[in-house]
Amino acid sequence: MPRTVSDGGEDFDGDVSSQPGSRRHTDSNSTHHHHGYKVGFPPVKGLFAEFADGVKETFFADDPLREYKDQPRSKKLWLSLVHLFPVLDWGRSYTFGKFKGDLVAGLTIASLCIPQDIGYAKLANLQPHVGLYSSFVPPLIYALMGSSRDIAIGPVAVVSLLLGTLLQEEIDPVKNPLEYSRLAFTATFFAGITQAMLGFFRLGFIIEFLSHAAIVGFMAGAAITIALQQLKGFLGIAKFTKKSDIISVMESVWGNVHHGCNWQTILIGASFLAFLLTTKYMDNSGQEE
């Protein structure tokens, strides 16, 4: 039998487990051992349920339909209209002071967009009025259906260049301008459908897979290609290559040098280029001060 020492320092012969306190301690240990907390396994889901949960977590993590929960039918209809036409929401707080600011901004942007969009139409081998239509019709639609105040809506140089480069391989814009315009309208229509579907299915995260280096390289290459395409008008060359690579463009320029260039277009182009570079330098120097 084990030998223990009591609280008073005297020897005590007996079994520790036979004492009341020891029994309570032993009972609590056994109870804790038999009734401990256990972590259960998650419920087993089927393949379809697991796939549906993954899609919901990926595309609808913000739960866009939470505003429609527990709402009457009239409220749901109004929320749907506001979601489709945000102007119904912010238009109620639109004031005359905001209109004056928008008017000044619109006139300023129009003075820039008119010559710019005519140039974009030229890049796409389309008539100048097509560029003007594409500059003010999309913003009018976006004013009713858009929600961002900072986004720029309208044609861009890269898309115009790609459209013109691809379509002229199928139809000659000089010999068949009507068929070329129809093909351009068809291409832009399906491009819009594709973009709308990407927005509907919330696939904007795909852009995250494009690295910054790839985007910068693409924009730099597009800028060089656009600059090379402007040599036709800058030098006044009548017969210019339809290709956009640098070798074909330089061969076309060098081949037309012997026939002479239009000095009037060179003078006008060089004057405006010098003006733009000078104003840009003056603007940068003012910001540094």
- CA-based Rg of the chain, rounded to a whole angstrom? 36
Residues 82, 132, single domain; the answer is yes
Domain-embedded: residue 263 = yes
Are 180 and 274 part of one and the same domain?
A: no
Do 155 and 261 lie in a common domain? no
Same domain, 181 and 257: no
**Is residue 7 very low, low, confident or very high in pLDDT (cuts 50, 70, 90)?**
very low
Query: What is the C-alpha separation between 229 and 161, in angstroms, rounded?
Result: 9
Parent domain of 70: 66-206
* 37, part of any domain: no
Q: Are residues 146 and 258 in the same domain?
A: no
CB 158 within 8 A of CB 222: yes
Residue 4 host element (H or E): strand 3-5
- 258 occurs within a structural domain: yes
Last residue within a domain, chosen from 176, 206, 236: 206
Lowest mean pLDDT: which of 122-136, 141-155, 231-245? 231-245
With a cut of 50, say whether residue 2 has pLDDT above it.
no
Q: Does a structural domain hold residue 135? A: yes
Rounded to two decimals, what is the model's pTM? 0.63
193 and 253 within one domain: no
Q: Kindly state whether residue 61 falls inside one of the protein's structural domains.
A: no
Q: By three-state DSSP, how is residue 34 classified?
A: helix
Domain boundary among 189, 206, 223: 206
Residues 106, 197, single domain; the answer is yes
Cα separation of 157 and 223, whole Å? 9
Could you tell me the two tokens for 4?
A: 């223990």
Please state the rounded mean pLDDT for residues 264-287: 81
Judgement on whether residues 137 and 253 belong to the same structural domain of the protein: no
- Single-letter code of the amino acid located at 43: P
Same domain, 238 and 281: yes
Q: Give residue 60's pLDDT band: very low, low, confident or very high (50, 70, 90).
A: low
Does 137 fall in a domain? yes
* pLDDT computed for residue 63 by the predictor: 67
Calpha distance 211→245 (Å, rounded)? 24
109: in domain: yes
Residue 4 domain-assigned?
Answer: no
pLDDT tens digits along 219-235: 888 888 888 888 888 88
Domain count, the chain: 2
Please report the pLDDT score of residue 78 as a whole number: 87
Q: Are residues 145 and 197 in the same domain?
A: yes
